[in-house]
Amino acid sequence: MRSPDRGVRRLAAGGYWRRKMVGLRFRCGIGGLFKVPATQQRRSRAYSVSQDFAEVLRKPKRQLTKLVFPLQELERQLAPDTRPSLHLKLFEPSLEDIARADDLFTATDRHRIEYLSSAVRLEHAPDLLRPEGHTKKMNFFKVGKYFTMVDMPGYGYRAPEDFVDMVETYLKERRNLMRTFLLVDSAVGIQKTDNIAIEMCEEFALPYVIVLTKIDKSSKGRLLKQVLQIQKFVDSQTQGCFPQLFAVSAVTYSGIHLLRCFIAHITGNLKANDSQFS
């Protein structure tokens, strides 16, 4: 993969100790998906709207769409008669579904989100003090009793020396891997070195998803151009890639709620009522 600061990062989704596993890697680290309060309040695992998403639901419709479905908002910039398909209807859950998934990613006393050692090498335990963007290990995060997420290093000059043995072997041989996520910097798009990760997923017949990060860094015009180029690439040059792109920002939180819902759905922990994807 490319250097940690630009381009593709790899996440895996599948099962650890018979759990389903999912992989994600963000500029700010995988922690951007989780909400772990300093004081974990006891509450039932029955459905409840998390505080953060409850605030989102109170926003005006246009602003809510921008935060929850950023590509839908971006698609409005295209002329209806020339609008290419972004496949945004493949996974279009209801706001209630998204709220339920959001709850799954919130740590409580009864629902803990914990760091685990690497299943491949014991010495690859999570380093809580590591600088952001410099992941050198495969770090495992247990999400309650539901699934495990794997934070993987990226390609590039800062990649660990044993990258091939550590990452490629895992992706190729891990039978309970549910999904692999390739994180692409939306400011630069897919570069030549990014194709290494894509070609590997295609060669190994891994189901994978492309997630565009840092969407707050570009203008609407620049972001739309990158989205259309990447969508064309996915439609014409991939077979194992999920057709729908996901776009996120760790700064504004745009798209994070939708991505959480997708992860909950593919791991079998949420049945999205309005989704055409199963």
pLDDT for 128 beyond 90:
no
| Distance between CA atoms of residues 63 and 84, nearest Å | 24
User: Does 51 or 2 have the greater pLDDT score?
Assistant: 51
For 214, the token pair is 């840092």
Domains of the chain (ranges plus CATH)?
A: 9-266 (3.40.50.300)
Specify the pLDDT at position 53. Answer: 87
- Positions of E strands within 7-155: 9-14, 20-23, 113-116, 139-143, 147-151
For 275, the token pair is 């989704």
User: Does 168 or 43 have the greater pLDDT score?
Assistant: 168
| Distance between CA atoms of residues 64 and 94, nearest Å | 13
Measured CA to CA in angstroms, residue 83 lies from 218, 219, 243 at distances of 21, 19, 16
Q: Choose from 21-35, 111-125, 253-267 the range with maximum mean pLDDT.
A: 253-267
Q: Give residue-wise pLDDT tens across range 184-219.
A: 999 999 987 788 889 989 999 999 999 999 999 989
pLDDT for 65 beyond 90:
yes
Q: Give residue-wise pLDDT tens across range 159-183.
A: 656 666 677 777 888 778 899 999 9
User: Does 171 or 25 have the greater pLDDT score?
Assistant: 171
Q: List the Cα angle 142/145/150 in 5-degree steps.
A: 25
Specify the pLDDT at position 276. Answer: 63
Q: Give residue-wise pLDDT tens across range 219-250.
A: 999 999 999 999 999 999 999 999 999 999 99
Closest C-alpha to 130, from 61, 29, 41 = 29
Specify the pLDDT at position 113. Answer: 84
Contact 147, 19 (CB under 8 A): yes
- 157 pairs with which residues across the strands? none
Contact 274, 94 (CB under 8 A): yes
Q: Worst-scoring range by mean pLDDT, 6-15, 148-157, 186-195? A: 6-15
Contact 11, 21 (CB under 8 A): no
**Three state DSSP letters for 27-52:** CCCHHHHCECCCCCCCCCCCCCCCHH
